[in-house]
Amino acid sequence: MRTITKVLFLLLLFLSTANAQVVAKVTPKEVELGEMVTYSLTISGEDITRPNIRRLCDSDVISTSSQTNIQITNGPISKNYALSYRFVPQKSCIISPIEVEVDGKTELSNSVEVKVVPVSGAKDLDFVLKIESSKKELFVGEAFDLTLTFKQRSDAEAVDSQFTPPELKGFWIKSETQPKRYQDSKYTITEIVYSLAPQRAGELKIPQAQMRIASRGSRASSWGDWIPTIKWKTYFSNELSFDVKPLPSGVSLVGDFAIEAVVDKSQIKANEAVNIKINVSGEGNLEDIKSFKPEMDDVAVFDEKIVIEGKKLTQKIAFVADRDFTIPSFSLRYFDHETKEVKEVSTKEIKIDVINEQIKEELVVKKEEAVAEYEEHATPTKEYNTLTLVFIFIAGVVVGVVSMLYKPYFSSVKKSKEGSIKDPKTLLTKLLPFKDDKEVCEIVEILEKNIYSHQKIEIDKKALKELLKKYKID
């Protein structure tokens, strides 16, 4: 009875498959890890809409192809479409039914299974790809080295290759070395070292890297001859997992650092620049160190861009003043991953003497007191006649007219005595009281660089004109 039931089931399955308009299959059904599989859809119908298939078994589709067959049997014409999708599965899986629109109707394919088995004889592989890390437990921002190694047996031939690096999501890529190649007894080995740092706390993973290798092969033709072919195979590396811990509050640097400040001179003339060079060396995330430029009263400070070369950071800063001043201490707070402590390193203050120091005088504003004098009205000793009064009136009119005509001239003379805003130093003096304004601050910095560092930076005249109008500066 059971035998009859099985036969009927198989018969029904065969009939349903035979009548189905969409049939799916995989070739081969069982592969070693890294080998390619072809997923095929055979579709019967006049008009079809090709499905958009980009991933199968959680793997990207590498290539697609299609073929159309037309058959005429005693008059009726039938069409068959064969769609093929090639991919490299990384694990066993079942491909779910695919929806295909056939002659205006939605048809479903059958599901198919793909079995992936481990690579046999792993010690004698022609090609090996792996990734290794110098650390597995890290703190946020802590640097480490990731080494990617590709090994090729000396007697293995590769016609072509395609390398897909691992996705490094959640990591800063600080640097990458040039490929280093060397030979051992069996393999030609190529190494690339990435310098990385985790961006966030928690468990972070680096997925597999991939290397597709094209090798020469052959297959038998329908006539029994051997035809040379190219066979592609994908080699996968291992995966890595990291346990990343957060840094203590208020600390953004991790590693071990030393700092020094070197000044070119400690005695200068008024308004002469003194240059200082700050050097930071050691292991850690140097790229997260911000500018050391300090804010100082009555001292113009100009900083250059930070330069990082290997394990050393350098920044140059210039100071310009007309009186004695002190360059403040520069410090770094960081977390030492070895001792698990927060440490701080700093430089010493540096006193700068100005030879011809300009003493700053305190501005004292005195309020004039108006003294009113009261005089008794005296009896005029002289009487004015009518002619005299007329002459005085005419003289007053003439003086008034002359004053009106020459008023612009006197105003310009007054302004020229006060100092023209066309003069950079005068303009700088008049803008300084409004330095809290971001736009004013930018122009003040340009003026300081042009005056004291002899640079020639162009000022936005339109923006300057608006600021002069805004603050009523003449």
Encode pLDDT of 286-336 as tens digits: 888 999 999 998 899 999 999 998 889 999 999 999 889 999 999 999 999
Q: What is the pLDDT of residue 94?
A: 92
Letter string b/e over residues 317-340, b meaning 16 or more CB atoms within 10 A of that residue's CB: bbbbbbeebebbebebebbebeee
pLDDT band, very low/low/confident/very high, at 227 (cuts 50, 70, 90): confident
Q: What is the pLDDT of residue 154?
A: 84
Is it true that the peptide bond before 28 is cis, omega within 30 degrees of 0? Answer: yes
Q: What is the pLDDT of residue 372?
A: 45
Contacts 24+ apart (CB under 8 A), 129-133: 129/209, 129/210, 129/211, 129/235, 129/236, 129/237, 130/237, 130/238, 131/166, 131/206, 131/209, 131/237, 131/238, 131/240, 132/240, 133/206, 133/240, 133/242
Q: What is the pLDDT of residue 14?
A: 41
Rounded mean pLDDT, 178-189: 90
**Average confidence score pLDDT of the chain:** 80
Q: What is the pLDDT of residue 75?
A: 58
Q: What is the pLDDT of residue 262?
A: 95
Rounded mean pLDDT, 246-251: 89
Phi, psi of 463, rounded to the nearest 5 degrees: -65, -40
> Which residues does 364 contact at the CB level (< 8 Å), separation at least 6?
none
Rounded mean pLDDT, 435-452: 82
pLDDT digit string (tens) for 130-150?
Answer: 999 988 899 998 889 999 999
Asked whether the predicted pLDDT for residue 72 surpasses 70, the reply is: no
